[in-house]
Chain A
Amino acid sequence: MKKRTALSIGLILPSVIIVGIFVYAFIAWTFAVSLTNWNTLLPNWSFAGLKNYIYLFTQDMRFHMDLINNFIFLPFFVLGTMILGFFLATLLNSGVKFESFFRTVFLLPMAISLVVSGVIWVWIYDPTNGALASLFQILHLPAINWLGSMTYALPAIIIATIWQYTGFTTSIYLAGLRGIPQEVLEAARLDGAHGFRLYWNIVIPMVQSSTVTAFVLMVQLSLQMFDIVWVMTQGGPAFATDMPAVYMFIAGFKQNFVARGAAIAMIIFALTLIVVIPYIFTAGRITEEEA
């Protein structure tokens, strides 16, 4: 048995070492930087305590706007991808023809780099030649300058990101739906559960693990949203779409506020942990149950 343990550790050790360096050591480094006065180009390791964090929370208007934007973005993006994903998965699971065609189509955006899709969506939203502008013209609706508007820029980005990630949630839900034994559904139908009630009482609880997975991944994505915003608006107009990850990049690499950037990164990470830690412990519990 000892030999087996040794072997097991041997199999997992490379991963542990690599992750230990690339994740833990690097985070520790960044955390250390966030506690310094390194707000110059050249490293300055003098200890600053929580100064950078305090500045961000009490004085920094841009960071406040970023948090507000992120907390508006998050529920729309997370619920949007999850509800749409569940809905489409349900349709795909209802025995339609060409199911694999539709599924492939829904998944295609996942194959495209965020840098590319950002560029395409800028075109769609173009107020003169853009596709959406043409559509509005045909429908005799007023022209809207989507990405240039304080009101519509954030929703426009939310739609683009929902486009990118809904295929993924659809797949997760489809897997979950396929995992429900037919007998359970039959039994429920015999008990008189139909339509909404069937879904609410039987189906949704049975795809709970899909829901949890989708939720955690989508929340993580929305807290760390960077590439597509960077390409589409760079946080503009007037911070309407600015996100903490965008500010972090600017602060750290343009303004030389390295410690402030590190502090923003740690705050993003801490927010992520709020949803991730319960998830990770659930994942751990499942293993124990199986063991």
Chain B
Amino acid sequence: MRISKRIAIYTVLIIASIFFLFPIYMLIVTSLKSLQEVNTTSSWSLPVHIDLSGFVTAWNGISQGFVNSFEFTIPALIFSVFLGSIGGFALTKVKFKGSNTVFLFLLFGMFLPYQVVLIPLVKFMATLGLYGNIWSLIITHTAYGIPITTLIFRNFYSSIPTSLLEAGQVDGANTLQIYARIILPLSIPGIVVASIWQFTNIWNNFLFGLVLGSMPDVRPVTVMLNNLNGAMMAQWNTLMAGALITAIPTLIVYLIAGKYFVKGLLGGAVKG
């Protein structure tokens, strides 16, 4: 490659990186300022004095939500990934009459505007007696995760040659054993993609948390973050510190597992 072209490519990539990183930079510098400095200096300047009061206030306000969010995100992630995996397996490797129709039936749910279901959702949970219970959030996030996880695993398993399974059948293993011994170990990239996707979506979700997280002991961190932003007062340093704390788990997931995400996509996990 010619040097000039190479320089051009890097220049563009660096400019793009600045575009993508800049808002995150703003998030960090503002969170480290005192309230007074936030109001008097320009928003992108570095803090003159590092002030952690924003973090203290924010943490006091959202720590409970931080714990709550883990309490429903992890189970909902596991359930939806598990259901997606066995569903994807059934749809590709143990095909039955009408399995395509079933897949379309599930896939449809991916395109649902969530606002459509708010009221029936609350009614349903109240009928089950789960309203205000952490299980209402676990079940809801599992339910709305099923379409995407099923899609991911169905596409992923399509790329696993059926001959592998036939070899298993010759060895006398039954279907469930094939799933456990052959498919599951091969599923790691699919599991990673589905988990990253689900973790981010569930953790960042606001709307369901707003209507289902009615009690402090189940209320998600995003809703508590929103409460830092008072109805009539804005304390930007606290808000930004809270935003940063809220984003840390998902940022870590992306920083550590981001490359597996693209690898998983390469493995055909999300294609047409």
Task: Determine if chain A interacts with chain B.
Answer: yes
Question: Which residues of A does B touch, CB under 8 Å?
Answer: 4-5, 7-9, 11-12, 14-16, 18-23, 25-27, 29-30, 33, 88, 91-92, 94-96, 100, 102-117, 119-121, 123-124, 126, 129-131, 134, 163, 166-167, 171-172, 174-176, 178-179, 208-210, 212-213, 220, 223-224, 226-227, 245, 248-249, 252, 258, 262, 265-266, 268-269, 272-273, 276, 279-284, 286-288, 290-291
Pair B112/A23 contact, Cβ less than 8 Å: yes
Interface size on B, residues (CB 8 A): 98
B261 within 8 A of A: yes
**Residue A23 contacts which of B90, B96, B108, B253 (CB distance < 8 angstroms)?**
B108
Pair B271/A210 contact, Cβ less than 8 Å: yes
**Please, which residues of chain A bring their CB within 8 A of the CB of B17?**
102, 105-106
B77 within 8 A of A: no
Pair A107/B254 contact, Cβ less than 8 Å: yes
**Please, which residues of chain B bring their CB within 8 A of the CB of A262?**
116
B120 to chain A, nearest CB (A): 4
A-B pairs with beta carbons under 8 Å apart, 14 shown: A15-B84, A19-B143, A19-B146, A27-B116, A88-B16, A102-B17, A108-B251, A111-B250, A124-B22, A126-B43, A163-B23, A171-B262, A175-B266, A252-B119
**Please, which residues of chain B bring their CB within 8 A of the CB of A114?**
204, 206
Nearest B residue to A216 by beta-carbon distance? Answer: B111
Given contacts A8-B94, A284-B103, contact A108 B121 (CB under 8 A): no
Residues facing A in B123-160 (CB within 8 A) are: 124, 139-140, 142-144, 146-147, 150-151, 154, 158
Question: Which residues of B does A touch, CB under 8 Å?
Answer: 1, 9-10, 12-13, 16-17, 19-24, 26-27, 30, 41-44, 83-84, 86-87, 89-92, 94-97, 99-100, 102-121, 124, 139-140, 142-144, 146-147, 150-151, 154, 158, 175-176, 200, 203-204, 206-207, 222, 225-226, 229, 236, 239-240, 243, 246-247, 250-251, 253-255, 258-259, 261-262, 265-266, 268, 270-272
Given contacts A119-B229, A163-B19, contact A22 B121 (CB under 8 A): yes
**Please, which residues of chain A bring their CB within 8 A of the CB of B112?**
23, 27, 269
Interface of A is mostly: helix
Given contacts A14-B83, A26-B117, contact A106 B20 (CB under 8 A): yes
A261 to chain B, nearest CB (A): 8
**Please, which residues of chain B bring their CB within 8 A of the CB of A110?**
200, 254
Pair B262/A174 contact, Cβ less than 8 Å: yes
Pair A268/B113 contact, Cβ less than 8 Å: yes
The distance in angstroms between the C-alpha atoms of A133 and B146, with both chains bound, is 44
Pair B87/A11 contact, Cβ less than 8 Å: yes
**Residue A265 contacts which of B24, B113, B154, B243 (CB distance < 8 angstroms)?**
B113
Pair B243/A119 contact, Cβ less than 8 Å: yes
B131 to chain A, nearest CB (A): 15
B70 to chain A, nearest CB (A): 15
B177 to chain A, nearest CB (A): 12
Pair A15/B87 contact, Cβ less than 8 Å: yes
**Residue A96 contacts which of B9, B24, B247, B272 (CB distance < 8 angstroms)?**
B9
The distance in angstroms between the C-alpha atoms of A27 and B43, with both chains bound, is 44
**Residue A131 contacts which of B1, B26, B154 (CB distance < 8 angstroms)?**
B26
The 9 lowest CB-CB distance pairs between A and B, nearest first, are A209-B272, A175-B265, A113-B204, A8-B94, A11-B90, A22-B143, A111-B250, A23-B109, A26-B117
